[in-house]
A and B are shown apart, each in its own frame.
Chain A
Amino acid sequence: MATITLETLTKQFDSTTAVDAVSLTINDGEVLGIVGPSGCGKTTTLRLIAGFETATEGTIQYDDEDMTHVPPENRNVGLVFQGYALFNNMTVRQNVTFGPKMHGVRKQERRERANELLELLDIRELADRAPQTLSGGQQQRVGLARALAIEPRILLLDEPMTGLDAQLKRSLRRELGELLDELDVTTLYVTHDQEQAMAMCDRIAVMNDGHVEQVSTPADIYESPANEFVANFIGTTNIVATNTLAGAVDTETAPDQGSTQNGHRQLAVRPDDFVVGSGPIEAQIANLFYLGEQVQLIVTTGDGTELTVHCDRFDADGLSVGDQITMDVETSRIHAVNETQ
């Protein structure tokens, strides 16, 4: 395990800057998530840390050791891909012992290590099976066991749950979270799935267009997004002007930082922070979606602003498209946001 430090890390492909002066620290034993839209540079950052891309500028340190130009086979990183990339010419056990074998671990010891990991991941009975005969969830566990078998300084997970069904994702998320806690291994988890990242990571870095927009705990990022991009990317957010919330917002105490648009400050309000039933904000239901535990209302306020509102399914009883409703929102739930540069 190690503390990983990226200093003004930059990667350019011809004229495109995929990673732009990223500085980031992954603390020893921490699970750091990188989230962001496709093409934001999160996978390139992971590949730079793994050594599969060469940095154009900046440095990568594992503890105090400069690893910027060290080849991937000498970095001791565990890597789990979306497709797991298991070696189909080997059994599950051979896959798991492959890494230790490359590191010169004796046969008996690597066999014991593999058995331990297969036991830990609850796939001991699959040891002699071929990877291609396993289900997606089982393959994911094998991929993880293989990556952990080399006792990596950092575990890199690149969209490891993409392609699995929702139920399996949920159960694996819990298991993987518990496992990473138990092993206390430094982990970088790259995903476009913000829900997975929120549930599993100690901290999250939100990337956009090669930059890191915000690094913080999941709760902080959700509750206090640094800018409009983060507010929109993490969860659903209504970005509105102060006058839209007139009556609900005490303009004296409302957040006064942030940018202005057409003379009004930009405010962010989460859909589930609205209370439907009474309050000073009047709106008409333009659309209504039943989501299961919640109902999503798309409403239009008097000034024509469209808001997304979530309410409990019992509170939405009897509501239909075209109905006039009233809503309230606590000032403390409103955050000023800067426009994304």
Chain B
Amino acid sequence: MATYDTGSLSARFGRQFVKLILVTTVIFLSLPVLLTFVSSFAAQWVGPLPSGFLTFTNWGDVIGGTGVGADVSVGSSLLYSAGLAVAGVVINICVGVPIAYAVARYDFWGRSWVNVFAILPLAPGIILGIAFLRAYPDLSTSGIALVIGYSLLKAPYMVMAVQSSFQSMELRRIEESSRSLGASWLRTFLTVIVPNAKEGIVAGSIICWTLAAAEFNFSYIVYSRGTPPLSIFLYNNITNASFLNAAAAVSVFFLLIALVTIALQLVGNQAAVRRL
């Protein structure tokens, strides 16, 4: 049996050291988010820390659209971005899930190329944005351009999340069992394969929606007029408003992301609980 030297440095302090690194990293990463959220309820921030708690003035300004110097309220911008991201996720599901299935299930000529092309849009949004403007100059002024761009940019996250779900399943046997029981290929795919990959689809949707709703680079290049996506709204107006107003606007976005994430996870968990 293996024996361990309990007197060595790694045995005595290893676990504590890892904990310390972990806690430090978590604090370092979450502090800006936490500070922004907390400061959105402050009346002023002149010293090292915000002060004058607790006020909802900043939130009122943001939601009412009066304080951030914008010609539209953050609410409409937020809803617009949320809608664009939802549309992007729907496209990602419709296109990404079949691609992930084909790559995970079938061995066909060009399979590795399909896989590469599904992941290729991980290219920076700014590059894709310029290419989009060149290729589809007429489309680029509409929301459709943003939806297509978001879905293209975020597709790899959907494909990878769903693919990992498929890879943990006995796809061929499940498909063949279903077909031997009388289900057509399409019915098998829709009623057996896709529901079995629900966890992957939910995870992919959370990632795609969150990243699409906050996408800046592509939006900055492609957006030209009308209601701005949230990221553009924040960029345009943070400089015109007080930091505390901007903090409230960002906090609204954080909250929305948290709510969507929790909602999607609940959908996934509900499916799991129903099965138990």
Spell out A's residues near B (CB within 8 Å): 50-52, 71-79, 81, 83, 85, 87-89, 91, 98-99, 102-103, 130, 132-133, 146-147, 150, 156
Contacts and interface: CB of A to CB of B under 8 A. Distances in A.
Contact of A77 (B180, B184, B196, B271): B180
Interface of B is mostly: helix
7 contacts: A83-B170, A87-B174, A87-B177, A89-B192, A98-B181, A99-B181, A103-B182
A89 B274 CA distance: 9
Interface size class of B (residues with CB under 8 A): 20 to 34
Contacts of B196: 87-89
Nearest to B174: A85
Contacts of B174: 85, 87
Interface of B: 170, 173-174, 176-184, 187, 192, 195-196, 198, 271, 275-276
Contacts, number: 69
Contacts of A75: 180
Contacts of B195: 89
Given A72-B180, A81-B177, A87-B178, 4 more contacts: A72-B179, A73-B181, A98-B183, A147-B180
B183 A73 contact: yes
Nearest to B275: A130
A50 B178 CA distance: 12
A278 to B, nearest CB: 50
Contacts of A51: 180
Given A81-B177, A87-B174, A102 B275 contact: no
A91 B276 CA distance: 8
Contact of A73 (B184, B192, B198): B184
B275 A99 contact: no
A79 B176 contact: yes
Contacts of A76: 182
A198 to B, nearest CB: 26
A87 B271 CA distance: 13
A88 B275 contact: yes
Contacts of B179: 52, 71-73
Given A85-B170, A89-B271, A102 B181 contact: yes
